[in-house]
A and B are shown apart, each in its own frame.
Chain A
Amino acid sequence: MKPMVEIIDLHKSFGKVEVLKGINLQVKPGSVTSILGPSGSGKSTMLRCINHLEQPTGGAVKVNGDYVGYTRKGDVLSEISGKALAKQRAGIGMVFQRFDLYAHKTALENIIEGPLRVLGQSRSAATDEAMALLERVGLRNRARAYPAQLSGGQQQRVAIARALAMKPKVMLFDEPTSALDPELVGEVLAVMKEVAASGMTMLVVTHEIAFAREVSSEVVFMADGYIVEQGDPNLVLRKPSHPRTQDFLSRVL
């Protein structure tokens, strides 16, 4: 089966500092990949390279068979236009640690913005679909609230709905529960489980080991800009073979 996401010898440097030192990863359609690893190991940078929020300094990323940010002519990858890149990004949803809902828009307006401006849907169709998504994340009655009026957990659920509204092929989650009070983590994880169950291809950077074990089909462990271990969650999380993984798990479990 053709991979949904394919990361090929990905390198990324900020100035002289190399943060990603050659990442290779294949993600199957409909799978959930959890990415674990200590802070600063390059997890966010790798995720942000997938939708080209960061431009790789070497290697490439393919989503659904297309090079992200480039088009291939023979052996050359040439950069595509901003418009073409935007079109690619529309098919890749992203959920951020700090939610990043548009502060001047209500929950409903946050969700319909993309469908209206990017997909060109009609306002009534976009609103109907947005209300259905709010229902799905359990926030139908908060449609007219501004982000500042919602709890962190509610904001993150709206952010997930906003990403889903674009009907993406893949969704990227960058520590979606790390900024939440402990009692609000569960409601967001529940929504993510439901999204996973619906067949969405997901890459999730997380420190929630229980979630990784329960929901993901694959666990990837990163350290110092490399993937040091990957495989079935039951294997990697129960019997880690790499010392960095063992060390990390012994501290978070």
Chain B
Amino acid sequence: MTALTTDPLASESSPLKLAPRRHYAQVVGAVAVLLLAFLLIQSLALNKNMQWSTVWKYLWNGQVGQGIVTTLVLTVICMVMGTILATVLAVMRLSKNKVLSTVSFAYIWFFRGTPLLVQLIFWYNLAALFPLLGIGIPLTNISASVSTNVVITAFVAAVLGFTLNEAAYMSEIVRAGIQSVNVGQREAALSTGMTEAQCMVRIVLPQAMRVIVPPTANQAINLLKATSLVAFISGGDLLSAVQDIYAVNFAVIPLLVVASIWYLVVVSVASVGQHYLERRVGKGFTHFSEDAVRDQIASIKAAQGGNE
């Protein structure tokens, strides 16, 4: 007699139920965290020294609003210009040309190696070093110049400082992105007659974005908050605005809370943007695309001779 082992699942008369695993530790943890959060919020919310009415009042203050606008404008300008410069630096760094790659290396070394605050103050005080900014043609008398203090306002100093600094950090991110793209993609593009530049712009960089975007969002959020350093050169940003206000009314903590709330709001909006951007640059790297699925269903129907 041969003993045939039958699958117990197959022999059941009614279908078996699936019981998910219970996560007791998670439940206990969640309760503990909620309790702690409740106590913290209670101690802050009921704390008279927080002066919540002051916070509420200054949340909608015009000067604070101006500060937010300056902070956003500064962040966007420096991030965009910094990223463009960073891409150039990254391509130079990866170039076979030794001069280009060394220049890029030196740039990154210098701007990452010195404190951002020092760079900002340097640009703001450029006049101390070069009182006049000018252009001229060598060996002739033709030249033009202006006073440095007229050109380098606090805002211009901030744009210069943050852009040049951001470019150094971003270029390392862009370089990692470029290097993450399979060399086969480049060779395929070159073999169809694209130039190196076309290949970089059309084939390599779009794919590198997938690796570049997440840390770039991080950089942007960092920059947004780092712009508060312009308070040192009276730059008129969000932090400068609340500092100006509490210098008069001494409500230091409530106004710092106002600034923090706005920073949180802006960062939250930026994070939502990041999510959608990541989905966009991930195109082709998932197995799901509505168009392709529709085509496939249509071709299966056609193969079955269906006439729907």
Chain A interfacial positions (CB closer than 8 Å to B): 51, 53, 82-83, 86-94, 96, 98, 100-106, 113-114, 117-118, 141-149, 159, 162-163, 166
Contacts and interface: CB of A to CB of B under 8 A. Distances in A.
Contact of A82 (B196, B202, B283, B292): B196
Contacts of A53: 187, 190-191
Contacts of B202: 113, 117
B72 interface: no
A105 B295 CA distance: 16
Interface string B171-197: 000000000001011011111111110
B291 interface: yes
B159 to A, nearest CB: 33
B287 A86 contact: no
Contacts of B227: none
A88 B193 CA distance: 7
B260 interface: no
A100 B183 CA distance: 9
Contact of A118 (B192, B206, B285, B298): B192
A241 B284 CA distance: 50
Given A141-B298, A144-B295, A146-B289, A166 B190 contact: no
Interface in B194-251: 194-196, 198, 202-203, 206-207
B51 interface: no
Given A117-B194, A163-B191, 11 more contacts: A51-B191, A93-B191, A100-B184, A106-B291, A141-B296, A141-B299, A144-B295, A145-B292, A148-B285, A148-B286, A166-B192
B190 to A, nearest CB: 6
Contacts of B291: 106, 144
A145 to B, nearest CB: 4
A217 to B, nearest CB: 24
Contact of B184 (A98, A105, A149): A98
B102 to A, nearest CB: 21
A211 to B, nearest CB: 22
B189 A102 contact: yes
A86 B284 contact: no
B194 A104 contact: no
Contacts of A82: 195-196
Contacts of B284: 103-106, 146-148
Nearest to B184: A100
Contact of A166 (B193, B203, B283, B289): B193
Interface in B275-308: 283-287, 289, 291-292, 295-296, 298-299, 302
Contacts of B196: 82
A149 B292 contact: yes
Contact of B187 (A96, A106, A159): A96
A114 B194 contact: yes
B199 to A, nearest CB: 9
B287 A148 contact: yes
Given A142-B295, A144-B295, A145-B289, A104 B206 contact: yes
A71 B291 CA distance: 47
A86 B190 contact: yes
Given A118-B193, A146-B284, A101 B206 contact: no
Contacts of B198: 117-118
Contacts of A93: 191-192
Nearest to B303: A141
B192 A113 contact: yes
Contacts of A118: 192-194, 198
Contacts of A162: 188, 192
Nearest to A141: B299
Given A105-B284, A145-B292, A114 B207 contact: no
A92 B188 CA distance: 12
Contacts of B185: 100, 102-103
Interface in B126-171: none
